A and B are shown apart, each in its own frame.
Chain A
Amino acid sequence: MTTKQFIISAWNWNPWVIAICAATIIFYFARQRSPSRLKTGWLLAGTAIFFFTLASPIDALADGYLFSAHMLQHLLLLLVVPPLILLSLTPRTVPDCLQNGRWQPASKILRQPMATWLLGVGGMWIWHAPALCNAAVTNAWIHRLQYVSLLFMGFAFWWPIIGPWAKQRLSPLAGIIYLFSACIGCTILGIIITFSPVEVCTIYLHPMDMLGILPLIQEQWGLTPAKDQQLGGLLMWVPACLIYFCGILRLFFRWHGEQTDKAIDPASPFQIPLSGVPYEH
């Protein structure tokens, strides 16, 4: 099989994935009658990437062949799809039950930045425990659980940064620390995976070649298991951090763009400077 043949043939038209995409779009436009073009763009981008992650040849490669393809899926589901969807939301589009009602406990977690941070960074780490990583490849149900949990952890993680309600967002400086420490969290794991002499996911060492593409991957693409793992680690290390980094820049510019709501009265001119003790309001 050549690369071209593989890319054309390896799409999987999973009805669940298509149904979720369709449901998301229908639901969104049902709640939000005339969304802005930008918001629509975010929504469509998020949905398209979600579809691409789970239906394109990446999914075929992640299914036992390449650790790096699995990592790409992992990152897209945790760090790209949720923030794109969140960006498309307005307070209108969010079900009321998240604000007050049956889902009160869930929305409480969303208001605890420590908890959401742990979910977001934990999402990176937990599924790379060797046992879980292997189980997710061999057992279809665990595999689905992995996808769903990644999406949920991603939504929780990004909620305090770009959630639909401005009130529930972190202050800019706290948000920068939140994202920077998350970046360190995934950098550490990325470094360990990149330079670790042992395999994280042993299942990827000896793929069961159901599609007959192993020669293509290992010989034509030159992706030996060692290189594959290094690539996976690097994906988590460098591009993942750049996503957090974009979040930081966004926070920064939103902060600087914020308009005055109450001016300090310039009529009270000279003030006593501070000396070693924080001033009281």
Chain B
Amino acid sequence: MSKTALAFVAIETPSAISAPRGLYSWVATVDHKRIGILYLLTALVFFAAGGVEALLMRIQLARPNNTFLSPDAYDQIFTMHGTTMIFLVVMPTLIGLANYLVPLMIGARDMAFPRLNALSYWLLPCGGLLLHFSLLAGGAPAVGWFSYAPLSEPAYASTQGIDYWVLSLLILGIGSVAASINLIATILTLRAPGLTIRRLPLFVWMVFVNSFLIILALPVLNSAIVMLFIDRHLGTHFFVPSHGGSAVLWQHFFWAFGHPEVYIMALPAFGIISEVIPVFSRRPIFGYEFVAASTVAIGLLSFGIWAHHMFAVGLGRPVDLFFAASSMLIAVPTGVKIFNWSATLWGGAIRLNTAMRFAVAFLIQFTIGGLSGVTFAVVPIDWQVTGTYYLVAHFHYVLFGGTFFAVFAGLYYWFPKMTGRMLSERLGKLNFWMALIGFNTAFFVQHFLGLMGMPRRVYTYPDLPGWGLLNFISTIGAFLLGASVLVLLWNIVVSLRRGQPAGENPWQAWTLEWATTSPPPAHNFDRVPPIRSRRPLWDLAHPENPDPLVGGSTSRDEFVLDKNRVGMASFLASESAFFLMLVLAYLFYNSQPLSGPSSANTLSPLKTGIYTLCLIASSLTFWLAEKKLAAKNFFAFRRLLALTILLGTVFVLGQGLEYLHLFRAGVMVNSNLFATTFFTLTGFHGLHMCIGLVALLIVLGLSLAGDFNQGRIEAVKSVGLYWHFVDAVWLVVFSVVYLRPLL
């Protein structure tokens, strides 16, 4: 052992910061590790719920013409199963793991915004409870997790299930976006000295890319469900074809979110696999650059291929053609990853323990799911099988055989770090084989059922040759899979009590989370080891044979960013996506002349133009105010700030007068699609204006209390960014709504 390694061992134990105990300490915690564990436990509870729902469906489908569940009960259960698994299990599990691991892996003490972190977590149980409350309020939503319009409109979905679904998804979406903003800010600003972007562990890389997917994709869903909610409660017709609305637009919006969502649920799983496989093959990952670059590629491409979910809608041959091509294209970066993982295994000294077993099974099953996915890019095949169990088999191979197996691998890998105890390998082996056999029995036969034409989303099926038998096999597999999860739970319970102590680094892994005690102290690290490559702990243990130096401290690698700016900028990117969808909806419905009120015959560009000038002026005054603040001229700062608020208020009042004028003229939100889109777009902008005004008032109050005299003016800068953003959005809205008809 060399001196460095000894120095590492001899590092003093963390100074005693006694961790608070008791239930309240968990409720009030802002520690990223505890919040991460809370995420995982909450996801586990909902996993139980979603799993039971799955088993109920499998019982119903075990034999033909079964009457175990009524059609309506089946619809509710299958909607809840999908919604629960995606929004309450997979996303929280992956976000929870990221929450726990990212600060540890980058050598930070916590997330960039610990309180925001707690908020994002607590939105999860709130959203989950809201969704399940629908069971007590007349029945759960029964239209599938995709809620296709017009089935989700009041005429067809008369219970309040959809309303709870909308509200719950909105809350969960806000929570996910907040968590992602936090992760982006953490990864960009809190990396330990020397940990450049090019040296990041791949799990962190993938979480980083994933966070961008979340902040850009979730707002698309949010805008769509907000429109659906307005349809249901204000009597409008965004998605009602009989009144000029467009059900296809709902599908576009939903899948423009839905396809990136598929990758949101896959990328962190790729990250887990990229950590587990190298450690248990005892060699660094093959082609780090390619794994990282293919992640970026997948992230970008995932936004451009949603229409392949809609081949059966009939979008026309040119559209089908382009999206078939782009959908096949995304298989390339995914294939690159599979290749890299396989090449890492090749020639490695493989330690086949439970974590590694799950990782290898992931590789095979995800490849199967990926290959059947490519078949959907072929339009005629898609037409044939998109409505069948072939598709059910496909996405369960991706999501269960892929993502869940990766999560299990991650759980066996990181459980020792989280608890200080190892999971039992003996039970782990049982857990793995039961899960493997159960999963493949349950879902492989569904490929055949689908190719034989068994339709999905239907509560039962006729007694056709072979269907009953294959379904029965599938049900047996599902129960075996369920039992394997019980084994995992039992393993966790037993190991928590009697598991082998793990020590700091039971796997001789190389990333920073293993450089602290298990479980880590509240402040994570006293000292972070030196980082000069992608495997700092390898370098530390093998000073005679360290990894080659990666990059350097060039200006391109070591940039210093302010976390508040990064956080606000990510938030605004997310807001832009939301407004973009509202603007697109407006353009979509107003590109053809409508009967009734329209922009040309009801709005006055001149009057609103004057209010717009006020708004532009307010941006200017705020800019000047910031300058005064930088010059420590507090009196002038407050005066200009007050002027900003005044100008903003004039604008909001102007908008109010315009609304009043429209109401007097009988133009209501449900008058026609112009009125609907106009009020939705300007209403949401007005809401943001009001929030901006409140924020400005708070800044004014803080300034009066002398808060900025010490030069800590981050709040002013962040609020300023927001205010300029809201003004910029208005300029777009003004040109689209008021100026476009003048062209």
Contact = CB atoms under 8 A, between A and B. Distances in A.
Interface of A: 129-131, 171-173, 176, 180, 183, 187-188, 191-192, 194-198, 227, 230-231, 234, 237-238, 241-242, 245, 248-249, 252-253, 255-264, 266, 268-281
Contacts of B113: 276
A271 B527 contact: yes
B193 A269 contact: no
B554 A180 contact: no
29 contacts: A188-B584, A191-B584, A197-B591, A227-B316, A230-B318, A234-B318, A238-B326, A242-B326, A245-B300, A252-B292, A253-B289, A260-B552, A264-B532, A269-B4, A269-B530, A270-B528, A271-B527, A271-B528, A271-B530, A272-B527, A273-B108, A274-B108, A274-B192, A276-B109, A276-B110, A276-B113, A278-B190, A278-B561, A280-B560
Given A252-B293, A264-B194, A273-B109, 13 more contacts: A131-B743, A197-B591, A230-B318, A245-B297, A245-B300, A249-B297, A252-B292, A258-B551, A260-B551, A261-B554, A273-B108, A275-B108, A279-B193
A209 B109 CA distance: 71
A258 B554 CA distance: 10
A172 B292 CA distance: 14
Contacts of A278: 189-190, 560-563
B549 A273 contact: no
A276 to B, nearest CB: 6
A143 to B, nearest CB: 22
Contact of A260 (B303, B549, B562): B549
B427 to A, nearest CB: 35
Given A270-B11, A270-B529, A278-B563, A238 B112 contact: no
A278 B289 CA distance: 27
Contacts of B11: 270
B588 interface: yes
B52 interface: no
B580 interface: yes
A263 B530 contact: no
Contacts of B527: 270-273
B14 to A, nearest CB: 12
Given A180-B300, A194-B319, A230-B316, A275 B110 contact: yes
A172 to B, nearest CB: 6
Given A256-B292, A276-B114, A263 B552 contact: yes
Given A271-B192, A271-B193, A272-B528, A195 B588 contact: yes
A207 to B, nearest CB: 19
B198 A256 contact: yes
A237 B109 CA distance: 43
B549 A263 contact: yes
B350 to A, nearest CB: 27
A183 B322 contact: no
B672 to A, nearest CB: 16
Nearest to B197: A173
A188 B584 CA distance: 8
Contacts of A230: 316, 318-319
Contacts of B326: 238, 242
Contact of B530 (A241, A256, A268): A268
Contacts of B743: 129-131
B157 interface: no
